[in-house]
Amino acid sequence: MDLHDAVLDWYDANARDLPWRSTSATPWSVMVSEFMLQQTPVSRVLPVHEAWLDRWPTPADLAAEPTGESVRAWGRLGYPRRALRLHAAATAILERHAGEVPAAYDDLIALPGVGDYTAAAIATFAYGRRHVVLDTNVRRVLARTLSGVEFPAQSVNKAERELAASVLPDDEPTAATWSVAVMELGALVCTASNPACGRCPVADLCAWRTAGHPAYDGPPRKVQTWAGTDRQCRGRLMAVLRDADSPVHRSRLDTVWSDNTQRERALNGLLKDNLATEVEPDFFALP
């Protein structure tokens, strides 16, 4: 298929040198990267991924630590519940799979914090298995090249999955490379805004380009905000707990966010999500 050859040749010449793609990368390295890369750019993940693997080179190493240490090491990547889920997954891997990240999709998706995309991605990128891998970048590339629309539906549907499966190469190793190649194309060329169609290897095969780049006309797309949100408040509180080597009095948390109601709501949310614990009245710490 011309589409396969064009994308695979482009990837061979343009793929970024990322540690979790190295031939020496362990399945655990791939798994850690997949958790960290959710809603977080590669540039922010790289130093944290390296430090994480230096400290915890295997799932067993992480499982041996308190959950709070995973949250502390997560730093400022955001969405710190991912750290708790990764710790829980490491513990399950130790208990169910003798400390080895499983290769089978069914075993992976049974792990805490692992959904369809993450299970397919780990099986594909760590073990070279043949699965449909649909992250945001892949979905956008396939929507444009095959369906002629600027953006895919807000959530994956059966038709989209079947379309992705129809162009997945039959050969298992080639299918695995295809999946990461399409992902890379979406990250570097077929971007959400200002796509570089002039240097796209499949521009001549792209249905969206052929149609004249029609603008997206679906439901309003979600735009993430940050300033003044509960997420920002939670991040400020987490930063205080992360940087402290002993329990923190409530008064220290009061200094980083002035809105009392929002601060209490955020703190209660952290306690409910097990990202913080009240070790004694008005003293808080990581779990």
What residues are annotated to the active site? 34
**pLDDT tens across 221-237, in order?**
676 677 888 999 999 99
* Conformation bin of residue 225: beta by default, left when phi > 0, alpha when psi is -120 to 50: beta
**Mean pLDDT calculated for residue range 263-273:** 96
Say what the pLDDT of residue 224 is: 65
| Other beta carbons less than 10 A from residue 236's beta carbon | 15
- 1: pLDDT confidence band, cut at 50, 70 and 90? low
**pLDDT tens across 183-196, in order?**
999 999 999 999 99
Where do runs of H (alpha helix) occur along the chain?
2-14, 27-36, 42-55, 59-63, 67-74, 81-96, 105-109, 116-127, 136-142, 158-166, 172-188, 207-210, 230-243, 250-254, 260-272
Domains of the chain: 15-127 (1.10.340.30), 230-285 (1.10.10)
- 216: pLDDT confidence band, cut at 50, 70 and 90? confident
pLDDT of 239 above 70: yes
**Mean pLDDT calculated for residue range 50-63:** 98
**pLDDT tens across 26-51, in order?**
999 999 999 999 989 999 999 999 99
Percent of all residues in the chain with a pLDDT value above 70, rounded to a whole number: 98
149 touches 209 (CB < 8 A): no
Say what the pLDDT of residue 223 is: 65
Say what the pLDDT of residue 30 is: 98
**pLDDT tens across 80-100, in order?**
999 999 999 999 999 999 999
Say what the pLDDT of residue 225 is: 75
pLDDT of 242 above 70: yes
**pLDDT tens across 100-118, in order?**
999 999 999 999 999 999 9
Say what the pLDDT of residue 38 is: 92
Say what the pLDDT of residue 86 is: 98
Say what the pLDDT of residue 60 is: 98
- Mean per-residue pLDDT of the chain: 95
Count of residues making up the chain? 287
> Crossing angle of helices 67-74/42-55, nearest 10°?
140
Percent of all residues in the chain with a pLDDT value above 90, rounded to a whole number: 92
Q: Is 38 helix (H, G, I), strand (E, B) or coil?
A: coil
Say what the pLDDT of residue 240 is: 95
State how far the alpha carbon of 39 is from the alpha carbons of 34, 66, 164, in Å. Answer: 10, 25, 22
Say what the pLDDT of residue 87 is: 98
